Structures are given as C-alpha cells and as structure tokens.
C-alpha cells in the first residue's frame, strides 16, 4: 500500500487553513485541472465528522466518481476521510495542521490501496503513485495561495 506524505508551510492561521481544507467549494477550486465537483452528499460549505461527499472528476481522460466519508475531526488540528466507494480498493486521507511560527504546517498523508491486486501494484509503480503525489502537491499549493491571500487581506 503506497503512502504519500506531503508537508506544506502556509503563512496563515491554523483555523483558516483547517477550514479551507474541508471547504467543498475551495476543494473544487484547488482541483480545477481535473474538473472535480461535488455531486452528492455535502456539496457546499464545510465538511464535518460523519459527512459524506461524492466527487466527480476526470482522471486519465475518464470521468470517475468517488465517495468519501469524514470519520474523524479534531478542530483545528486534524480530520480524516476514507473512501466509501470509488476507483481505489481503499484509502485513508489524514489532513493534519500544526501551528508553526507565523503560519501553519499542513500535512497530507494519503494511504491507499489500488484495485486489481498485482496489476494495481504494477500500476502504482509505473504511474499511479506519481500521479497521486502530483495531485496532492498541486492541491496543497493552490490551497496555500488561497489561504495566504485571505490572511494577507485580513490584516489590511
């Protein structure tokens, strides 16, 4: 099972970073490249513990749907979502936030298992793990831009 860990420093308060990371509309903005959108469950606002959301996006040229459920929420330090239905065999995505100096360290830990046994493991090695790492990093960088812009504007 591949585990992708990405840390991103954001010059913004922990509460802002936490809320942006669980905001459905912000998620959509940070995943524009894959045309991701919420189509069922919570489709607007902030995700809370127990909430589910079904995302529709285009990955590898194919429209896909994935339903995730928030199984843990410790405001403003961490929340965890798991796949309920979708293309992976399973995944657990832990979002962690730690205050650091004048900002926040946001850590994504994406622990997933591909479908199709040995073929899935081969796909991980050939392209899927690299693709997922780029996706997570891209989303974190976009979230950083939004958070830092909002934080800068709130101090003016």
Look up the CATH number of the domain holding residue 86: 3.30.530.20
8 A C-beta contact, residue 47 and residue 22: yes
Its pTM stands at 0.93
Q: Which domain holds residue 33?
A: 3-154
8 A C-beta contact, residue 49 and residue 79: yes
Alpha helix ranges (H) inside the chain: 14-21, 24-30, 117-123, 129-154
Number of domains forming the structure of the chain:
1
Strands 37-41 and 3-10: unpaired
pLDDT tens series, the chain, 156 aa: 799 999 999 999 999 999 999 999 999 999 999 999 999 999 999 999 999 999 999 999 999 999 999 999 999 999 999 999 999 999 999 999 999 999 999 999 999 998 888 888 888 888 999 999 999 999 999 999 999 999 998 876
């Amino acid at each position: 099972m591949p585990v992708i860990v990405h840390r991103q420093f954001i010059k913004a308060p922990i509460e802002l970073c936490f809320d942006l990371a669980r905001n459905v509309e912000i998620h959509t903005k940070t995943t524009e490249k894959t045309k991701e959108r919420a189509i069922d469950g919570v489709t607007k606002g902030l995700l809370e513990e127990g909430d589910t959301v079904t995302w529709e996006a285009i990955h590898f040229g194919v429209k896909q749907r994935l339903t995730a459920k928030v199984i843990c929420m410790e405001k403003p330090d961490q929340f965890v979502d798991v796949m309920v239905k979708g293309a992976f065999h399973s995944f657990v995505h832990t979002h962690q936030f730690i205050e650091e100096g004048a900002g926040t360290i946001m850590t994504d830990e994406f622990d997933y298992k591909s479908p199709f046994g040995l073929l899935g493991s081969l796909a991980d090695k050939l392209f899927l793990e690299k693709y997922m790492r780029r996706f997570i990093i891209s989303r974190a960088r976009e979230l950083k831009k939004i958070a830092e812009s909002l934080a800068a504007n709130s101090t003016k």
